[in-house]
Structures are given as C-alpha cells and as structure tokens.
Chain A
Amino acid sequence: QKEVEQDPGPLSVPEGAIVSLNCTYSNSAFQYFMWYRQYSRKGPELLMYTYSSGNKEDGRFTAQVDKSSKYISLFIRDSQPSDSATYLCAMTPYNQGGKLIFGQGTELSVKP
C-alpha cells in the first residue's frame, strides 16, 4: 500500500464549478503538506503549502488538512479551463526535509 493515496481521476467539471481534490496518508510522521499543479510536459508548480490542521486560503484555492483523519484536500472555486492540469499532493516526513512523498496525481479537466 502506498504511503499517500490519491484518486487519479480523470475528473471533468464545467467551468465555474467547485472542485474538490483529496489525498489520504498512512504515515503519522508527515508534517508538511503541499499541493502542486503540473501542466502537460512541464515541471510541478507549487500551489499551496501548510503544516497544521485547518484551512489555508489563497485566492480561489483552499487547502485543508485533517491530521487526526490523515486526510488533506484542495478546493478550487470558480474553476477555469486554465485550471485543467494534473494536481499532485505531496508530504514531507518529520525531520526529513527535502524528501517529498507524492500522491499519484489527479487529472482535472475544466470544460468551457
């Protein structure tokens, strides 16, 4: 079983919809949580970063962490066709800075 589980999708939504992306993890040592966006044939781009349980908002993006349930989410409001990409969750174990463990990525398509 993978340390980080993420539904690969694909997920297709109409423009303007609220998108919910989720990851679960098994290792209690994970303490930093990130979401990356990757366009085709590009490197991942950091979207959100958090280390505590709760919500963190940045524009149309909200990251949510529930350490007790080992569950993280990314919400995208008012989704746009330009949001079409693969979204990857990533986590860092305690005291192993520099080592990211990634989920498989969810492929998102936002239709005009």
Chain B
Amino acid sequence: KAGVTQTPRYLIKTRGQQVTLSCSPISGHRSVSWYQQTPGQGLQFLFEYFSETQRNKGNFPGRFSGRQFSNSRSEMNVSTLELGDSALYLCASSWAGETQYFGPGTRLLVL
C-alpha cells in the first residue's frame, strides 16, 4: 500500500499571503488529521476530518482551516500568514482515527 503523501514538500511564502497544503491518505483510510510541528511547541494537533466532516479541532486561530473531499484527500489552508506559522505541517491518516500514519510533511517558511 502506498503511504500518506503530502504536497508540496517545501514552501516559502511572505507575511500576509495564504497557503494551501494537500494530503492524500492511505487507500481506505477515512480519517485525516493535521499537525503543526515547531522546535518550541513540538507537535500540536490542528484538526481532524472524518468522512468529509471536521470531527475534532485544536486550539489554533481561525486562520487555519481545512476540508476533506469525498475521496478522503484533505487540504489545509492558512490565511494571512505570520512569521510564527513557519513550521513542519504533518498530516496523518487512519481508518477511523485511532492508529495514525504520518506523511513526510510540508515544510513552510514564512518570510
């Protein structure tokens, strides 16, 4: 089985711009979770989508949003980028939310 894929792998943006990241889960998995990883805060949960519905949400501002399509692929969007949004963004897929398998991540640098 192919693993979780994320595109793009690297991004450079400037403050105020917006960005969209994409995640393709393992075939058959219906849950996709998104995480932000920074050296200072570690891995933090952003949100989880299950069957196209947001099921859980972390403590991030509304600038962070996401969606899931009928084929379980997911996107997350960050609007009005800030310097502090520079991070590794990871998505993870699972059949129903329990055992999560991570993708390689998208490294975002905000200048």
Contacts and interface: CB of A to CB of B under 8 A. Distances in A.
A33 to B, nearest CB: 11
Contacts of A99: 33, 45, 48, 56, 58, 97
B104 A49 contact: no
Given A104-B42, A105-B42, A98 B90 contact: no
Interface string B1-35: 00010000000000000000000000000010101
A9 B44 CA distance: 20
Contact of B105 (A43, A92, A96, A104): A43
Interface string A77-108: 00000000000101010001111111111000
Contact of B56 (A49, A96, A105): A96
A14 interface: no
B31 A44 contact: no
A96 B96 CA distance: 11
A7 B31 CA distance: 30
Contacts of A90: 43
Given A43-B90, A92-B98, A98 B50 contact: yes
A32 interface: yes
A57 interface: no
Contacts of A97: 31, 55-56, 94, 96-98
Contacts of A102: 35, 42-44
Given A42-B104, A49-B99, A105-B43, 16 more contacts: A34-B100, A42-B105, A43-B102, A45-B102, A46-B100, A46-B102, A88-B43, A97-B31, A98-B31, A98-B94, A100-B43, A101-B45, A102-B43, A103-B42, A104-B42, A105-B42
